[in-house]
Chains A and B, each alone.
Chain A
Amino acid sequence: MAKAAESSGEPGTTSPRPLMRDLKAVGKKFMHVLYPRKSNTLLRDWDLWGPLILCVTLALMLQRSSVDSEKDGGPQFAEVFVIVWFGAVTITLNSKLLGGNISFFQSLCVLGYCILPLTVAMLVCRLVLLAEQGPINFMVRLFVVIVMFTWSIVASTAFLADSQPPNRKALAIYPVFLFYFVISWMILTFTPQ
């Protein structure tokens, strides 16, 4: 959103250039999440499009196709949305209250983008579930989710850890761990009917 604001062209034009620029920025950040190095790209040019896309994708994939999905109690679309955004806001507030020097939207941006590995895990799980169910099926899914969960934590820690004073790093990282754990749990317990 920061980039879109500063790159507004003449009023009334529907030039695709800002859109392409935004998409490229989002794609670049995806790459940074997949190969986390200590860099400031995610923090400097934050945007919330990536997290929104990821959140919607995840929520759509967690929908069950059964007719009686109400009774089954799987997370509804709105629930996933609320959990992701409410969780991210809570973690950001916690990090700021502990004295971190990261801005609100930067933190939201990082947390949102680091859901990417878990979204990939969800995709893989849905594909694996097309095969026959059984313990091997479950072990494969468990393995994939664990690997992606670790990836998410490592990626977000690489970006967020430097913004906290050193004697509080663990206090700031633990809620991130809890957040991704809950999302991983939702992915792992997903069973289509």
Chain B
Amino acid sequence: MAAADELAFHEFEEASNLLAETPDAVTTSGSGQLTPQGHVAVAVDSGGSYGAEEEVEESDKTALLQEKQQPGFWTFGYYQSFFDVDTCQVLDRIRGSLLPRPGHNFVRHRLRNRPDLYGPFWICATLAFVLAVTGNLTLVLAQRRDPSIHYSPQFHKVTVAGITIYCYVWLVPLALWGFLQWRKRVRERVGPYTFLETVCVYGYSLFVFIPTVVLWLIPVPWLQWLFGALALALSAASLVFTLWPVVREDTRLVAAVLLSTVVLLHALLATGCKPLPLEPLAPPPQATSLPLNLLPPPTPRSQVT
């Protein structure tokens, strides 16, 4: 079975390469679970490219054997459809978000219009815990250098970090999706992404911050800025390359404003995660190094670095 699975995966790759070369092609794909081997058919659609998104979804659904119509949102099966991913698919999506390429649209290329909620949810959870743990570690390391700093586990940081990150990954895509829906009438060719696809893109784009936050433990300031800039560049590039096909149909002004807002919000989140240099004053504990800063608006302290 492993060989058959590998065959299916290779066929996927070939199809994705074909799709990247001929953006007008429409693929139908079968899920590896339902068919013994992956079933991939490539048909060239002469009519138009992304406007045929609804047809892609329809043919996707009909191509999947035994897939009936979507269950209602009050059933458990509805939510199960968002966790319908395998380990290799999740790893593939993470790789896709780490290495954004200008031609490759994350939603079309990696998600293939089948967003999942597993990735965003657990990436956010991991990021929140890693932030809290590294914040704690920064304090410990600082205290060893300068014993006047008061150490405490600062456990509530987990709650703050978690709420901030989850709000970011849910509310910003909601606003973005709403805005794109509102502008839908301006674009003819390119259909907007669904809400879950947007959430998926944002969630996976946050993955690069996890190793960055760990690397921020190295107490060399210019190295920290370098890592931060690198992570922000990768993450924002992933977002921008995904949004570009949808937004380029719009007027220049709207496109520019939208993309710069997206990048700015992302930069704010990155700044919020970056540890601040520690001040060696002892009392009171709140005034000393809070490695986690809250998200917008950035306090004056964060400007002093």
Interface residues, chain A, CB within 8 Å of chain B? 71-75, 79, 94, 96-99, 165, 167-171, 174-175, 178, 181-182, 185-186, 189-191
What B residues does A73 contact at CB under 8 A?
152-156, 285
Q: Is the CB of B83 within 8 A of A98?
A: yes
CB of B255 closer than 8 Å to a CB of A: no
CB-CB under 8 A from B218, the residues of chain A are: none
> Which residues does chain B contribute within 8 Å of A72, judged by CB atoms?
152-153, 285
B129 within 8 A of partner (CB): yes
- Residues of B with C-beta under 8 A to A98: 83, 118
Closest 8 CB pairs of A and B: A97-B83, A72-B152, A167-B86, A73-B154, A170-B87, A73-B152, A75-B155, A189-B153
Closest chain-A Cβ to B93's Cβ sits at a distance in Å of 12
- 14 extra A-B contacts, CB within 8 A, seeds A73-B154, A99-B84: A73-B153, A94-B83, A94-B122, A96-B76, A97-B83, A98-B83, A167-B87, A167-B88, A168-B87, A178-B122, A182-B158, A185-B136, A186-B153, A191-B151
Cβ contact within 8 Å between B155 and A79: yes
Q: How large is the interface on B (under 10, 10 to 19, 20 to 34, 35 or more residues)?
A: 20 to 34
Chain A residue numbers with a CB within 8 Å of B5 are: 167
Segment 52-80 of B: residues with Cβ below 8 Å from A: 76, 79-80
Smallest Cβ-Cβ distance to B119: which chain A residue: A171
Q: Smallest CB–CB gap between B286 and chain A, Å?
A: 8
Return A170 CB to nearest CB of chain B, in Å.
4
Supply 8 A–B pairs (Cβ within 8 Å), ascending by A.
A72-B152, A74-B153, A97-B80, A98-B118, A167-B87, A167-B88, A171-B85, A171-B87
A186–B118 contact, CB under 8 A? no
Bound CA–CA A181/B87 (angstroms):
21
Inter-chain contact A74/B118, CB cutoff 8 Å: no
What is the 8 Å Cβ interface bit string for chain B, positions 80-114, against chain A (1 contact, 0 not)? 10111111101000000000000000000000000
Decide: A71 near B125, CB < 8 A? Known: A94-B118, A170-B87. Answer: no
Q: How many whole Å from B84's CB to the nearest CB in chain A?
A: 8
Asked, given contacts A74-B153, A97-B79, A98-B83, whether A189 binds B125 with beta carbons under 8 Å apart, the answer is no
> Chain B residues near A178 (CB, 8 Å)?
122, 125-126, 129
Any chain A CB within 8 A of the CB of B229?
A: no
| Residues of the A chain whose Cβ atoms lie less than 8 Å from the Cβ of B136 | 185, 189
B residues 234-285 near A (Cβ < 8 Å) are 284-285
